[in-house]
Structure 1
């Protein structure tokens, strides 16, 4: 079992700050690294895996630095987001090449064992450029695991993978976490993280927005003010009634014919709205969130973090 620790890590490229003063501890089990595209997740992964030095701060495994310590690579398996550039190789050749790079004494046996673990024994005789997206992900995982690392880092492993392959990959990562490995995967999809990891780290715009149990952080996300757009048979009448509700923070009438409602208690609002409309004789045509993007959720978490300081 190994623990990966980032201590006040920053990384900048010229005048661009990609990661800003991030500290986190990743221990055994499955951890989700959640953040919108461009949040700095790939840069963090590159520093954790020893392929990129921090501009300041440190990245360590069990107290030892990762950067410029070649024996650290024996403890790390990296599954990058980018597509494989070795399509001319068979899956078996690709995994075996990684086994040879690690100078495994039983490279052939290790290759066959890990191909079995990821369920790629049969397809391994085919060229990688004939694989589906899910198969390419699994062969990358096999190559990352062939030397039996204690830490597995996966950058957006579910991108473009069909639902069946996604379930297979999730089952595999759960199993690896249950074995005591430290598994960290990044994603910008909230539901992917929820289904796989209880502990999450949230980053946005290169900053650390939240850390801890998924349920607690999800409640923070749910409790934030939420904006809705409502269309009905009588927007003015419905708006006047909603203004009196404790769960409603503000109501505005859109000139194009809809209500813009900001809600502070989503549960109370959802349970009372149908009854209010029925009592007032108003027919609801459409209710839709207007700011439910992950970017808005993360921005809210960052604002809360800043206000708490």
Structure 2
């Protein structure tokens, strides 16, 4: 069970503070790192991968410092966002070179290329690769030594839908095997589908951590929104609006449903079934309409 710990870590470049007093733990499974552009995600990944030193604080792998510690690099694979590669090499030559840096050989390189399904193009020059193909060959080079930790910065950029699904399946398998996988993405749908845990960075600071649905339920200062269909929407609305847990109700004629704003999540979840039972109203649909990752992210960024 390999764990990365970031403790009161900051990183600045001249007068620019990229990461500001961040503390978080990244453990086994798949973790999504979220934040708007310029939030500090890449800086954090570079510190976790050993490419940058923290200005203050500590970044450790199972208690050992990562910066300038060659022993931990054997456990870490990094897929950076930047496109800079050795375009004059073939895909196979590039992955073999990375294997040799770890004291490995062609057999391990071939296995890594097969894992990302790049065998068909392994003898072509990287200069001829599409962006999605470049992403996959970078992935192969990061996997060649079978790391217990995989760090990916915007790995889905440039991939077509089929390539994205293949990579998502691979990351799920790695997480299920007990490896520690962290990826950043600006496509919220991908994070929602893939990550069991999220870390949110806003303006260099740690904004939230955990399952995004649980984070949403802890945001008690924002109304919770529900889409509710029932056998008698108007009677249900009249009964619910009288309770202080309900801030507002709109009858949506297009959807044939009620749109409800609840200001007290716990009280409302008990109120709704009780009111329906007392008034002999059948509840047909009760669906949170703002518990998506996109809603949570927008609330956090706007906070």
C-alpha separation in 2, matches of 1:294 and 1:82: 28
Contact 1:223 1:264 in 2 (8 A): no
Once the two structures are TM-superposed, the CA of residue 168 in structure 1 deviates from its matched residue by 1.0
The one of 168, 173, 192 aligned to 2:171: 173
The one of 146, 149, 166 aligned to 1:148: 146
Once the two structures are TM-superposed, the CA of residue 220 in structure 1 deviates from its matched residue by 5.4
Once the two structures are TM-superposed, the CA of residue 207 in structure 1 deviates from its matched residue by 0.5
Query: What is aligned with 2:50?
Result: 50
C-alpha separation in 2, matches of 1:293 and 1:25: 24
Query: What is aligned with 2:235?
Result: none
Contact 2:212 2:296 in 1 (8 A): no
Once the two structures are TM-superposed, the CA of residue 298 in structure 1 deviates from its matched residue by 2.4
TM-score (norm 1): 0.73
C-alpha separation in 2, matches of 1:123 and 1:98: 18
Which secondary structure does the structure 2 equivalent of 1:116 belong to?
helix
Which secondary structure does the structure 1 equivalent of 2:109 belong to?
helix
Aligned-residue CA RMSD in angstroms? 2.8
TM-score (norm 2): 0.75
C-alpha separation in 2, matches of 1:218 and 1:129: 45
Q: Which moved more, 1:4-13 or 1:160-169?
A: 160-169
Kindly provide the CA deviation profile for residues 138-194 of structure 1, in whole angstroms up to 9, marking residues without a partner as x: 111100010111100000111232222111110111111112111000112221111
Query: What is aligned with 2:6?
Result: 6
Residue 224 of structure 1 pairs with residue 199 of structure 2: no
> What does 1:118-137 align with in structure 2 at a 5 Å threshold?
118-137=116-135
Residue 20 of structure 1 pairs with residue 51 of structure 2: no
> What does 1:75-90 align with in structure 2 at a 5 Å threshold?
75-90=75-90
Contact 1:115 1:121 in 2 (8 A): yes
Which secondary structure does the structure 2 equivalent of 1:135 belong to?
helix
Structure 1 residue ranges without an equivalent (≥5):
227-243, 250-262, 269-288, 304-309
CA distance 1:217–1:294, change in 2 (3 Å):
closer
Once the two structures are TM-superposed, the CA of residue 215 in structure 1 deviates from its matched residue by 2.4
Query: What is aligned with 1:194?
Result: 192
C-alpha separation in 1, matches of 2:10 and 2:261: 35
Which secondary structure does the structure 2 equivalent of 1:125 belong to?
coil
Query: What is aligned with 2:67?
Result: 67
Query: What is aligned with 2:301?
Result: 299
Structure 2 residue ranges without an equivalent (≥5):
225-241, 250-259, 269-289
Contact 1:30 1:174 in 2 (8 A): yes
Query: What is aligned with 1:34?
Result: 34
C-alpha separation in 2, matches of 1:40 and 1:84: 20
Which secondary structure does the structure 2 equivalent of 1:8 belong to?
strand
> What does 1:261-300 align with in structure 2 at a 5 Å threshold?
264-265=261-262, 296-300=298-302
Query: What is aligned with 1:206?
Result: 204
CA distance 1:98–1:221, change in 2 (3 Å):
farther
Once the two structures are TM-superposed, the CA of residue 247 in structure 1 deviates from its matched residue by 3.4
Contact 1:36 1:295 in 2 (8 A): no
Which secondary structure does the structure 2 equivalent of 1:122 belong to?
helix
Query: What is aligned with 1:280?
Result: none
Which secondary structure does the structure 2 equivalent of 1:96 belong to?
helix
